[in-house]
Structure 1
Amino acid sequence: MNEMLTMMRGAAERTSALVESLRDDELGLPTPCAEYDVKALLAHLEWGADLFVSLADDGGMPPQKEYTGDFRERAERMLAAWEKPEAWEGASRTMGLPKPVLANMALTDLVAHGWDLAKATGRDYGVEERTAAALLEFASKMAPTGRERGAFGPEVPVPDDAPVLDRFLGVIGRDPAWKP
């Protein structure tokens, strides 16, 4: 729990700082998530933070809402929910998955969409090597389920000697070389 929570904190901080650096004139830019422009992806990130708060508390699916600009506050609530030991126990009634799997999904969401936003807006987005390795290991195991549930796209071939973050991105269906 502690190592995962540390990685979640780092990803939440990195993604929050990126979100806060975005300008209004960038909200309409395309992202590596073809169905989302920057503004729609921000709304999805905000909803995702709410979702992982609810799942940590054994709640249901929150309604999707429009972009409000309060991602950092939502991410902080998400982290607070996962700081409770009971958030890591048992399985989610809503998704039927073990709670530690949901924490990995939260980390995946933070990093993948942080990277998406960075690529869309020409910014850098890096993660610690241990976080990238944990993400690659998780995504490699969850890829079939992730594709079935629509969370991951078709795998993008990435060389075995590519950076670990790039290999993670390829597994979840992102092209590390994507350009707008």
Structure 2
Amino acid sequence: MTQKISELLEAAAGRALPVVRNIDDAQLDLRTPCAEYDVRALLNHLFLVVVNFQALAARKEADFGHQPEFVTGDWRARFGAETARLVAAWDAPGAEEGTAGQMGLPARTVGLMVLGDLTVHAWDLARATGGAFVPDPAVVEEVGPGLAALAPQARQMKVFGEPFPVGAGTTAFDRVLAVTGRNPGWRPGAEA
């Protein structure tokens, strides 16, 4: 039986929240595996994704063009509240049915996109700040094929980089990272 997106998001959020809560303000300027983002910018991006995908679940307009500053005040608690709203939005009746977003993608595909962002960006933030992150295995099993299928279009849109070469013995999550263009072995200060 296929797991509901809301259940998968709840599991992913459970793994991402400790990473976000443990980021010190002194780490906000650190480099991340996403070359265009430092920790602060990546947190702002992840907040934007979480908020906009709440709207997409409810078939409302999303605005990815405007990037507010989310990393102010008690942003760690606010991130927890926003991920809880994300889970609730995708748990609403009909959230996984039909299409969502301007591209008219199947709603479940849209849900898998935010699931991938939440999981991969939690890894990015953990790597950048020296935190620990182990993704939920059910999440990895679900997002792996979905992100692989979306990868060609994501590369055209400059959302993913070129696939990073990995060996045959790599983990399923390392393959997910690699399909998005990330080096699973990335460390701060090392060449990406």
Q: TM-score, normalised by structure 2?
A: 0.88
Contact 1:156 1:170 in 2 (8 A): yes
CA deviation after TM superposition for structure 1 residue 152, in Å? 1.3
Contact 1:160 1:167 in 2 (8 A): no
- In structure 1, distance between residues paired with 2:101 and 2:35: 31
Determine whether 1:42 maps to 2:50.
Answer: no
Structure with the largest fraction of helix: 1
Determine whether 1:102 maps to 2:103.
Answer: no
Letter in 2 for 1:45: L
Give 2:68's aligned residue. Answer: 65
- The structure whose RCO (Cα within 8 Å, separation 6+) is larger is 2
Contact 2:9 2:87 in 1 (8 A): yes
The verdict on how the C-alpha distance between 1:93 and 1:10 changes in structure 2, with shifts beyond 3 A counting, is: closer
- Which of residues 146, 149, 153 in structure 2 aligns to 1:145? 153
CA deviation after TM superposition for structure 1 residue 71, in Å? 1.2
Question: Residues 86-97 of structure 1: matches in 2 within 5 Å?
Answer: 86-97=94-105
Question: For residues 14-46 of structure 1, what are the alpha-carbon distances to aligned partners after superposition, in whole Å with 9 as ceiling and x for unaligned?
Answer: 112210111111111000011110011111111
Identity %: 37
Determine whether 1:174 maps to 2:182.
Answer: yes
Give 1:111's aligned residue. Answer: 119
SS of equivalent to 1:158: coil
Give 1:22's aligned residue. Answer: 23
Letter in 2 for 1:53: Q
The verdict on how the C-alpha distance between 1:95 and 1:64 changes in structure 2, with shifts beyond 3 A counting, is: farther
Bigger shift: residues 56-65 or 155-164: 56-65
- In structure 2, distance between residues paired with 1:61 and 1:78: 13
Contact 2:12 2:136 in 1 (8 A): no
CA deviation after TM superposition for structure 1 residue 93, in Å? 4.3
CA RMSD of aligned residues (A): 1.4
Letter in 1 for 2:10: R
Question: For residues 81-137 of structure 1, what are the alpha-carbon distances to aligned partners after superposition, in whole Å with 9 as ceiling and x for unaligned?
Answer: 000121111112423211000110011000110000000011121113232222221
Runs of 4+ deviating beyond 6 Å: none
Tell me the matched-pair count.
180
Determine whether 1:77 maps to 2:85.
Answer: yes
Letter in 2 for 1:116: D
Q: TM-score, normalised by structure 1?
A: 0.94
CA deviation after TM superposition for structure 1 residue 67, in Å? 2.4
Tell me, which stretches of 5 or more residues in structure 1 are unaligned? Answer: none
- In structure 1, distance between residues paired with 2:89 and 2:58: 7
Tell me, which stretches of 5 or more residues in structure 2 are unaligned? Answer: none
